[in-house]
A and B are shown apart, each in its own frame.
Chain A
Amino acid sequence: SQQGEEDPQALSIQEGENATMNCSYKTSINNLQWYRQNSGRGLVHLILIRSNEREKHSGRLRVTLDTSKKSSSLLITASRAADTASYFCATANNAGNMLTFGGGTRLMVKP
């Protein structure tokens, strides 16, 4: 299976609720990044967390990284309908020559 696998594959919530997505990876990394992709569009970079960091915040986003478990989570608080998109985690290896994407979580926020 590929590096960077998201869980769940699909998530449907009501506006105002929190959404949590998880990402697991297999090999050592330099950093892990989360991206959002609206249907048929390019990727938007959300947040980067380095391997020596445990938590980062950006607005309504909170990302955690547990290198011992090789996992990360993305929490979107107080979700909005506009948050509906696919969310991908991507891991950057230590050689710096590759960013590997997981399968993504499709989030639907119902108004």
Chain B
Amino acid sequence: GAVVSQHPSWVICKSGTSVKIECRSLDFQATTMFWYRQFPKQSLMLMATSNEGSKATYEQGVEKDKFLINHASLTLSTLTVTSAHPEDSSFYICSAREGGWQETQYFGPGTRLLVL
């Protein structure tokens, strides 16, 4: 199946730092990428949807200035957590979809962020 990678896997940073997480589709071109956040023992919550070359669409309650998303190419999307605070500590997971809405989303392995 299609492979999606994320980098880094783990990041620990001080409060106030900005952290960039990369999401790559390795063997297919992702027209749409999604970013999710998952707190311990909870389900995934969609943060935003991004289409290559367009501005991301953010879900209600997600601050676009806090979570900057860039989808500059068909194989790469980045999520930057700006001025991270301890409450931003979470598991961030991206997914990518090659075609339209009827296609499967493939998920990355996730990035665990711990803000001290």
Contacts and interface: CB of A to CB of B under 8 A. Distances in A.
Interface of A: 2, 30-31, 33, 35, 40-45, 48, 50, 88, 92-104
Interface residues of B, number: 25
Contacts of A104: 43
B34 interface: yes
Interface of B: 1, 6, 34, 36, 42-46, 49, 57, 91, 93, 95, 100-102, 104-110, 112
B108 A97 contact: no
B107 A30 contact: no
A35 B91 CA distance: 17
A-B pairs with lowest CB-CB distance, top 5: A96-B101, A42-B109, A43-B107, A42-B110, A101-B44
B104 A33 contact: yes
B110 A88 contact: no
A97 B57 contact: yes
Contacts of B45: 101
Contacts of B110: 40-42
Contacts of A95: 101
Given A42-B108, A42-B109, 18 more contacts: A2-B43, A30-B102, A31-B102, A33-B105, A35-B107, A41-B109, A43-B44, A43-B95, A48-B104, A88-B44, A92-B101, A98-B46, A99-B95, A99-B105, A100-B46, A101-B44, A101-B46, A103-B42
A60 to B, nearest CB: 18
B7 to A, nearest CB: 13
Contact of B102 (A2, A41, A96): A96
14 contacts: A40-B110, A42-B108, A43-B95, A45-B104, A45-B105, A93-B101, A94-B101, A95-B101, A96-B100, A99-B46, A101-B36, A101-B45, A103-B43, A104-B43
